[in-house]
Every structure is written in C-alpha cells, then in structure tokens.
Structure 1
Amino acid sequence: MSDTCGDKCESLEWIRERIHNKKHFTARFIGQIVDASGMEAELVVKVLAGVLFAILAFSDHAHFFANSLLVIVPALLIFVFPAEKPTDDSLFIYFSLFGALTVLDRSLEKIPCYYILKLALFVLLYLPPYVLHKRISELIQDQLKPQKSSENVSEMTRSNRTAPKTNQSTRTAVSAAPLPPPPPQEQPKPVEQAPAPVVVPAPVPVPVEQPAPPPQPVEQPPPPPPVEQAPPPPPAPAPEPTPAPADPAPKLPSSRSRTDLAGGSQRLKSGPNPMQSNSFYNLKSEADGFNSRNAISPGSNLNDMIFRPTEKLVFNAPFDYDNLTYHMKITNNSHHRIAYAVKGNAVPRVMANPAFGILNVGEMRIVAVSVQKFDWNDVDYQKDRIAYDYVLLPDDNNEKTFSMAMFQNSDTKRRKNIMIEYNP
C-alpha cells in the first residue's frame, strides 16, 4: 500500500507542478484564467477537465478535438516554449506512437471512450512514475544491441580475412627489396670517371707542352708559371674597392620609397597627398583622439579593424634620407564596409599613403607611413603619432569612392592611435 501511495503521490505532485509552478506554460495559462475569473486554480482545472471529458465521450467531433490537442501541445513546447521541450528521443517516440494510433482511429473508436484512453496513454508517456517513453527507449536499445554486436563481429571477421593479404604484400615487398643493391654497385663507376675530367682542367692549356717531357726531371721548374698566375689575383682586389663606393649608393635609394610619398605613382595617381593640402587630416591638439574609446557606443566592437602593428611604429636612424617608410597592414574585421582616413600631428614630416579609402568586408590593405628627413636636434618628435578615423557604412551605402561626408552624422565613428617612435 505504501508503494502505491508513493506512486500516487509522485503523480499528483507532477500534476500540481503543471498547475501552480509558473515555469510551466500550463500553469501560466491557468493563472491567466484565474486572474480573469477569480476562481481557484484547481477549480479551473476541474472545469476544463470535465468539459474535455464530455467532448471526448459524447461529441461527434471527439476525433478532431483529441488529435488537435495532441498536436498543439508538443508544437507549443517545440516552437513557442523550447526551454520546456522534452528530449529528442522522447519526442521521436511520441510522434511515432501518435502516427500509428491516428491511422487506426477509425477502426478503434468503436471502443467506448477510446479518445479518452488515447489521451491518457500519451499522458502516461511523461507522467511519473510510469514515464513510458523511457521504458520504450530501453526496449529499443535492447533490441539494437545484438544487431550492433553482430555488426562488430562481421567487421572483425572481415579484418581478419584481409590481414593475410597484407602479410603477403609485405613479404613480396621484402623479397623485392634485395633487387636495389646491384644498382649501387654500378654507381661507383661514374664516380671514378668524374675525377678524370677534373684532372684534365687542372693543367690548363698553358702546361700542354709539359706532358711531353715528363721523363725529364730537369724540366720540373716549369711549375713557376703557376706562381706567375698567383700574382694576377692581387690586382683583382684592387678593382674591388672601386665598386665598393657604388654599393652604398644603391643602399640609399633602397631605403627610400618615393612611390609612397605624396604624389607617388603607385598609390595616388595624380595630385599631392591630401594630408598636405587638407586640414581634415591634421590632429588639432595633443589630446585629440586619445579618449576615443569613451565615445564608442556600447554595442560597437573595438576589433572591427585589425592593425598590424597594433600600437606603435619604430623608425631607425639615420634620418637624413629623403624619407623612411614603414608598411603597416589594416584589415576590415567587421560585417560592414568601412571608410577610413589617416590623420597626423606632424604633417608633412609624417604622412600616410593612401591617406583614405573604403575597405570591403574582410579586405586587407597595406598603408605606407613615411617620415621625411629632419634634423634630430631641431624637431620635437616625442609626441609624433598618426590616427585612423573610421566609420561603419550602412548596408544600403553602395558608394565606391571615399568622401568626408561619410564621417558626418555617423554614430559609428571610431579612432585608433598609432604612436611614432625613433631609434637613433
């Protein structure tokens, strides 16, 4: 008796949870009816259950009401309240059983109160302590185990059958292995022939007359001619100092990158670098831009653009060249096109090329940052920097060319500061 009482108590507790605990959509629905009618929750459930019992027992549309209820409830759990959805295995068992019984509805509805029994069966799938869907799942797994074991046995037999074939193949490979030794014996022959031609060039055409008098030991002094060949090398180093001054000359232009300066042919096709002619690209004060992160909206992403290097550029001395150039990489890491402009506080001594542009999604671009020659003692270089101002363009903006109007009335304007350091 205690066991049966325990089972009943467990079932009643499950039902009470669905009536009073608002985490279940049924309790929330009953709560709305309670608020509207003023009745108690349990009384509302009894009224609804009585109406449903009368419809399923005496109505001619019991088939429609029962199947509609059995479809609407799981649909709400799957699409409207997914947090309360049962497991996929239990839903698979539920719909499989529902489809099989629905096909037989017309032949089984002759049983008295058939649709009430059908509804009770699907409630028992989840009502503790019965939880029929778990028992059905265990039965299915028990039936699948012998099939899996038989499949494993068949795979083992197949692997055992294929094993001797692999052994034979390895044996044939081993037997074939001794064949390679003969070729290495033939290889030393060409090796012996190689030194012969090496000996021929050694005498050189000059000592051709010497092979005739080998029997005469007196003619061994001819080796001094090679001694005469040794002096020619010393004159060779003499001409080397002459090209030496030519080497430093190319080194200077190699450090120069005039194509990256204003008006360079490879980047700006015509006109000067806009950083020289337009005040838009000048940072107005020392503090301009350093507090840019505070102006960024909370929903923005500080990694929309990726900069390499990330914080600073270092230029090595000497600084008396026409210009020194550092090529940095910028990448659009957002899901929108980006318009950018490079500003600086040391223009025209420090400039970037291209100074503006539009980056498509995922596009990478090389920007050349150039420092023109300057006198180390006459310039305050310690606060030099450049800043990338950029905005995210809306999806409906299809403009191909950059314009400063893109920065006006934009809530996505951001700034990245890159410091300039000099290594004397």
Structure 2
Amino acid sequence: MKEYAKIMNDIERRIDDGEIRGGQRLPSIRQLAEHYSCSKSTIIRAYSELEKRHLVYSIPQSGYYVVLKKVELEPSAGHSVIDFSSAAPDPNLFPYLDFQHCLNKAIDMYRSHLFTYGTPQGLPSLLNVLSKHLTNHQVFTSPEHIMITSGVQQALAILTTMPFPNGKRTVLLEQPSYHLMIQLLGCYGIPAKGITRSESGIDLNELEHLFRTGNIKMFYTIPRFHNPLGTSYSEKTKKAIGELAKRYDVYVVEDDYLADMETDTKSDPIFAYGSSHVIYLKSYAKILFPGLRLGVAVLPPALLDTFSMHKRLSDIDSSMLSQAALEIYIQSGMFERRKQKIKTTYYNRMQKLNHALDTFNDTDDIHHAQISSGVHTHIVLPEQLYVPSLINRLSKKGVILKEIEHSYLPLFDQQQSMLKLSITKVVEDQIEEGIRTLFAEIKKTRRLS
C-alpha cells in the first residue's frame, strides 16, 4: 500500500472512532509530514484524496477540516427500544460519504452509459471485477457466467418461474426458510415441498429421497448463516448436497447473502462442490445499502440463455449507475475496509448475545443455539408457551421480536415454536438488558398461562 493511502486510512480510522470530530481542524501539512516522517507532497495527496471522498474540506489560508456529517438517522429515543426483530443493516455502520464519492465518480466515468440501455448481464467492467472478487469466497467462475440482478430477490423470481433443463417443477425449501421466498412461490402458484432444518442440519437421507422421487426442479438453501436459524452447514453436508444435486439432476440455489460475515477461512460454499448444478447468489446489501438493489447470480451454462431472456424482459438491465459505483467501491479498496469494520462490529455483538443467553437462560426446556458469527440466532421454545402473548408483553417493555410462523410453508406439519434474535439494529450495550427482559417475561407468561 502506498504511503499516502496508509495515512488516509489512519485519518479515516480516527474519524470513525470519534478521535477526530466533525468540524474539527486537522493538523497542518507540515505537522503531519513530521508526524509520519514523510514528504509534504505525500500529505497533500492524502488530504486531496480524503477531500474527494467528502471526508475533509479545505479553507484557504486556514487549513483542512473534518466534514460534519449531516446524515440524520432514526432517533434512538435514548435507546428506549431494543429491536431484536429487524433484518435491516445498521445505518450507523454504512459508508454514506464513501459511496457518495463513488457515485460522483461513476457519473463522471460512465456519463455516456447513463443515456443508453445496458445489457441484461451487467456492466462488462463490473463483471470482470466480480469474477476476481468472488474468488475470495471460493467461487471460481468466468465473467460470462455472472449475471447482475436488481437484488437477489429478482434472481429468485426469475429462477422460480423460468423452465429448467431437467423439466421438473417443484421447489424444495428448508423449513423454516426465507419468508419472501415462500411468499414468492405462493404468489406464482409454484408447487413446493419442505424439508426440516434444525441447528444440527438436515437429514441427508430424506434429501436424497426427495431428490429421487419428488420431481424437484431446484432446492433453495441458505447454507451459511441461515435465515431465520442463523446456523451454517458443515463442510460434509455441503459436499453431500453438491453430489446429490449432480446425481439426481436437481439444481441447488445457494443463497449466500451473508458471505461477507464469514470468519472461518476454511468454509466453502456448495458451489465449490458441484458448480454444474449450483446457482450461486450473493447480495451486496449487507455491506453496502439495501437501496443499492444489486445482486449477483453465478449460473451453470445450461441456464444462462433462459435466465438472460427472462432478465431482459423483466427490467432490460439493472441500474448502470449502481453497477458503476459498486465497481469503483470494490476497486478502490473501500469495500474491503468497510467489510472488516462491519464484520468486527457484528461479531462483537454476537459474542455479547451468546454470553447473555448463557447467563439468563436458566430453563430446562428452552434451547438457544450457539452461533459464533453472522447477524442472528434463535431460541426454541416449549410448545405450551403462547408466543403471541409473550411478544406482546415484551413490546410493552420496549423489546421487539417477531414470530417466525411466516418462515414455514402453510401446510408444513413440523413447525417449531421459536424466536429469531437479530443483532443488526441492537446497540451492544442494550443486548444484556434485552435478554434479561426476555427471560423474565417468559417466566411471567408461564405463570399466567
């Protein structure tokens, strides 16, 4: 890394940590040159780059100052609400000024592209960048096999409705599963079957039976940091799923939406074990913004033409401006720096949540999962506990949770009573109080039932 970039990173870290406040005057060029033992031109370059990113501004004859952030976030009301229900990213962690710079630069670089329609596949230069970037997740593919979609949700809608080469129609889902995928299947009248997933995984013998006899077109799975369980498959299970898919000509739709939260460098996706029958999906919403509306689908050759046709008919192309900004964001190194900060913050919150659950769950019939990373976990409740009453009582105490009934297919007969706990919108010092309140209300609800 060049010297000016190191200085930039150090100044940005001090701003993020609050060591340097918005509106504060920064040290002079001469002072910083002495501090970092470098030339004045190096400091000038660092300040210039920070100014381009809207982190600092200069006043002639006065010096450089930190930009006072004017982004208004949701009021916390003194942290009066402890929200374990939200799946939305924490706005306090997201790179508004960084990405504003990338958008401005994208407009300058790709000005002519904004007045023409792009291609259904995506911006060619971004496809090349993503081909390299995906190798960080052990997804090795060429740009020709990548499709940019308007969020992962669009990819799921296309895959659900388009015909597959295997000629089958039924979609298999883990139960519980992503609630919008279940609603999508119901909306289009797509036949669906479920297979139970628990903290320990799924029954591979049952999976094989369903693949062999169930007319399964595709198996939708969230192997890593499952929604809503928060658990991840073992490498043995992922490898078995890849092998079964090839054996029985079933396509696996691997939704790896939280890949960037992975802390285990040895964890590979199912795609690494059976790419000919695996469709790999990745979202950038958890590291950037949900409003960016960009997802990535890595497709087997047999599906490319059909997927491309459905993509073109649904929206012609995804936002060129968003694509160009994402390319700049990744290429500049901003993506990797922001990812590390978000991953560390969420990891610390998850550790705090685990500790609180271990401390306050003193019951014999309530189980909480041990999740080391990701953004959510779950607790399994006894069937006789009336969950709506518990959630209502907790909301009056300022602790917000949601039922996960909508995460099951309507007729699935092995539903478990459980609560999902997300840490994306919970301040770290709220977690212990929230879990203490949760188990206190569980005891009260039991006494009243």
> What TM-score, normalized by structure 1, do the two folds share?
0.16
> Normalising by the residue count of structure 2, what TM-score does the alignment of the two structures yield?
0.15
Between Structure 1 and Structure 2, whose CA radius of gyration is higher?
1
